[in-house]
Amino acid sequence: MKKNLFLTSFVLLAAVFAFGQTEKHSFMVGGTGTYSSTMEGSIHNTVIDFSPRIGYFALNNLAVGINLALNKTVDDGNSFSTTLYCPFVRYYFLSSANNNIKLFGNANAFLGKEDEGVGSSNLTGFGAALGANYFFTKNVCFETSFGYSSTHAQIESVKDNTFGFNFGFQIFLFKDKK
């Protein structure tokens, strides 16, 4: 019974995601997890983030969208939480011969807030990344990228520059049939 339920669910999901990838009027939904290492003066932080994302392909290979970056950091007994709203632009510029690997460039800006327990600070910044999607089905892919971000905390006038790797999954759907 469980085997039939699993098989039926898999077939239905495959049917729902029957269109896709990076054509005009398609959508991408997914997210990434991030591991990054940051130096703030002499303090070294290791951070893990979660960032759900939705994008719309306004043109072939060009997506615009937004992701929500959620972060919780504990460093030297201090706890921080951050929420960022990040509009982005992504361009897919190279595909493998069978279209299962696509390379992209991504740029974003962000605005949000960091809560340090004793106070909060408004954050602004920007980022850029280069990455690849590996499609293991026509519409579902594993994503990895390497990027840079610069963040400015307004209350303390602190600027952080971060390099890091991102890993996640994306689902591409709803290609317009025009």
Structure tokens at 93: 């510029």
Whether the Cβ atoms of residue 116 and residue 75 lie closer than 8 Å to each other? no
pLDDT one digit per residue (tens) for the chain, 178 residues: 444 444 444 433 443 344 458 889 999 999 987 777 777 777 777 777 889 999 999 999 999 999 999 988 877 667 788 999 999 999 999 988 888 999 999 999 999 998 887 788 899 999 999 999 999 998 999 999 999 999 998 876 788 899 988 899 999 987 655 5
Q: How many domains does the chain have?
A: 1
DSSP code at position 148: E
Residues in the chain: 178
Name residue, tokens 């703030």: 40
End-to-end CA distance of the chain: 40
What local confidence, expressed as pLDDT, does residue 7 receive?
45
pTM for this entry: 0.75
Domain with residue 155: its CATH number is 2.40.160.20
Q: Is 178 a member of any domain?
A: no
Query: Does residue 109 form part of some domain?
Result: yes
Q: Which long-range contacts (CB under 8 A, 24 or more apart) does 69-73 make?
A: 69/110, 69/112, 71/47, 72/48, 73/45, 73/47
Task: Give dist(CA 164, CA 128) in Å, integer.
Answer: 11
Tell me phi and psi for residue 11, to 5 degrees: -65, -40
Q: Is residue 38 part of a domain?
A: yes
Establish if 151 belongs to a structural domain.
yes
Which domain covers residue 105, as residue numbers? 2-173
Q: Are 12 and 5 in contact (CB under 8 A)?
A: no
